[in-house]
Amino acid sequence: MNTRQTLALLRDYESRNITFTEPDGSWPIVWDRARDVKVWDAEGKKYLDLTGAFGVAAAGHANPRVVQAGQRQMARLLHAMGDVHPHPLKAQLARELSRITFERWARSPKSILLRQGFGGQEVQSPKSNEGGGAGVGGAQTLVTLRAHTLVTDACPAHG
């Protein structure tokens, strides 16, 4: 399916509040495949990905190690409904995220987290507004402690 066909389907079947499309079809670029830091559109034109691709680009698109790890996990268990029936890896991820963030930050002599007795609990969410909302809530708590004001979007996205 080419760019023109893809954008026509989006205009016809997807809410206009999801994907912005230029009336002349010049935007967005319809991605077909990606590898490392390169992305190819539906017509085969190659681009350098400077978007970050929601974090995917940090490991590189189609990174063989990530693909293999994903295939191994999907062959074992694709989805565990982690908010209801967690998988052990979720707990291990929470511990590791705490170790490399909250616990490290709390060791700083200037840490407000340490002085106020904050623990190291993270928020895992597939929806950016949930994770962002939790982050804003935590930031509002810290900002309140410092007697400042925090202004934020009511529905934050992408952190």
Per-residue pLDDT of 42-80, as tens digits, reads: 999 999 988 877 777 778 899 999 999 999 989 998 888
Query: Using CA atoms, how far apart are residues 140 and 144, in angstroms rounded to an integer?
Result: 6
pLDDT at 102 over 90: no
Instruction: Just give the CATH number of 3-76.
Output: 3.90.1150.10
pLDDT at 29 over 90: yes
Q: Half-sphere exposure (CA, 13 Å, Cβ side) for 148? A: 7
Give the pLDDT score at 142.
47
For residues 21 and 28, is the Cβ–Cβ distance under 8 A? yes
Query: Using CA atoms, how far apart are residues 156 and 77, in angstroms rounded to an integer?
Result: 31
Name the segment(s) of the chain with CATH classification 3.90.1150.10: 3-76
Q: What is the pTM of this model?
A: 0.55
Query: Using CA atoms, how far apart are residues 52 and 120, in angstroms rounded to an integer?
Result: 27
Neighbours of 158 (CB within 10 A): 10
